[in-house]
């Protein structure tokens, strides 16, 4: 649905559009229309300039020319906008490109923790490059893009046209790639952005009523639900979000007397069995286990 909105005339804008355009490429999310002849002429001019620069042909230039000839001389449907590649090399290049991006992103995220062990355990630095998560994120992004592009090209060949509805089918099949990198954060973010996009598109079309300050109200309700879970059922919160709340409140979320909340059946004190609050016996109906001592 995100990709379908991107391909519509009045589709997505802003960060979401830029992110999807970067992932799948500008060929699948065109920003303007132009004739294939014009685009092909630009490719030919670019090729001629490259040939002029590499008059003194070396091995690298020969290999590059061979790869370019293989990419360009192959099956490409007339509706496909990847004029510099055939459909097969187009999908392969997309996989290699986004696999590299995902691999490098995960490596960069692990750099700070790896450098902490640079002098104590130098061997840990090598794990920065062959860590399993690096390849998982790369496989996710690479397969996502290649499946999306491959499906789009296949549908153009089968139906002999380029339709915005192809994006829905291609995006659905590309979602299978999440088996390589199962992230609830990514899936929940995309789901929430989809609901937000459909809501505002419905407002623009006049089919959904507009509620003033709806974004603020939704954010407040979401925060209230998270805070309620932080008190009543900490075990259902993401560990990273729980640590964030502890830092935000300077540990006060962890010093609540959750044992009295166990009567509601949410297991509020499940992770706080050893915590005993110090209470003033003057204000309690039951004698506290650790009463406050007054000097």
For the chain, the structural domain boundaries read: 2-205, 214-291
Query: Which residues, 6+ apart, have CB-to-CB distance to 68 below 8 Å?
Result: 47
- Radius of gyration for the alpha carbons in the chain, expressed in angstroms and rounded: 28
Where does residue 14 rank: exposed (0-12), middle (13-18), buried (19+ CB within 10 A)?
Answer: exposed
**Which string of DSSP letters, residue by residue, matches 159-200?**
HSS--TTHHHHHHHHHGGGGGSS--HHHHHHHHHHHHHHHHH
* Overall pTM surpassing 0.95 (yes/no): no
Parallel, antiparallel or unpaired: strands 290-291 and 278-279: parallel
pLDDT confidence of residue 15: 62
Q: What is the pLDDT along the chain (295 residues), one digit of tens a residue?
A: 555 555 555 555 666 667 777 777 777 765 444 444 444 444 455 555 555 455 445 777 776 676 666 666 777 888 888 877 888 888 888 899 999 999 998 888 877 777 776 667 766 677 777 788 888 888 999 999 999 999 988 998 888 888 878 888 888 898 888 888 888 777 877 777 778 778 887 888 888 888 888 878 888 998 899 899 999 998 888 888 899 999 998 888 888 888 888 888 888 888 888 887 777 778 777 666 666 555 5
The structure tokens 């929940």 sit at 188
In angstroms, rounded to a whole number, what is the distance separating the alpha carbons of residues 174 and 94?
A: 13
Residues linked to residue 278 through DSSP beta bridges, in sequence order: 290
**Contact predicate 114/180, CB 8 Å:** no
Burial of 73 (0-12, 13-18, 19+ CB in 10 A): exposed
**DSSP 8-state assignment for residue 278:** E
pLDDT at 56: 47
Phi/psi of residue 247, nearest 5 degrees = -65, -40
Can you tell me whether residue 117 is helix, strand or coil?
A: coil
Question: Residue 194 is encoded by which pair of tokens?
Answer: 């989809």
CA distance 45 to 239: 55
Distance CA(33)–CA(44), nearest Å, equals 19
Q: Which residue reads 């620069």 in tokens?
A: 53
How many CB atoms sit inside 10 A of residue 90's CB?
Answer: 24
């Amino acid at each position: 649905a995100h990709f379908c909105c991107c391909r519509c005339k009045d589709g997505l804008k802003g960060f979401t559009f830029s992110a999807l355009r970067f992932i799948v490429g500008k060929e699948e999310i065109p920003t303007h229309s132009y004739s294939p002849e014009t685009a092909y002429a630009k490719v030919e001019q670019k090729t001629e300039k490259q040939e002029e620069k590499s008059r003194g042909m070396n091995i690298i230039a020969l290999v590059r020319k061979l790869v370019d000839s293989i990419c360009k001389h192959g099956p490409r449907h007339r509706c496909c906008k990847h004029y510099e590649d055939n459909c097969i090399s187009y999908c392969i290049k997309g996989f290699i490109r986004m696999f590299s991006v995902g691999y490098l992103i995960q490596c960069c995220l692990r750099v700070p923790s790896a450098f902490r062990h640079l002098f104590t355990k130098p061997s840990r630095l090598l794990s920065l490059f062959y860590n399993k998560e690096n390849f998982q994120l790369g496989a996710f992004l690479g397969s996502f893009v290649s499946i999306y592009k491959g499906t789009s090209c296949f549908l153009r060949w089968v139906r002999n046209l380029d339709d915005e509805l192809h994006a829905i089918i291609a995006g659905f099949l590309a979602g299978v790639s999440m088996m390589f990198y199962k992230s609830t954060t990514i899936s929940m973010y995309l789901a929430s952005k989809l609901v937000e996009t459909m809501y505002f598109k419905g407002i623009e079309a006049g089919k959904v009523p507009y509620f003033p300050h709806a974004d603020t109200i939704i954010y407040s309700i979401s925060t209230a639900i998270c805070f309620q879970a932080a008190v009543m059922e900490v075990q259902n919160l993401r560990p990273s979000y729980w640590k964030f709340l502890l830092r935000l409140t300077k540990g006060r979320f962890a010093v609540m007397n959750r044992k009295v909340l166990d009567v509601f059946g949410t297991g509020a004190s499940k992770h706080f069995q050893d915590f005993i609050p110090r209470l003033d016996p003057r204000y309690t109906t039951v004698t506290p286990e650790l009463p406050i001592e007054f000097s």
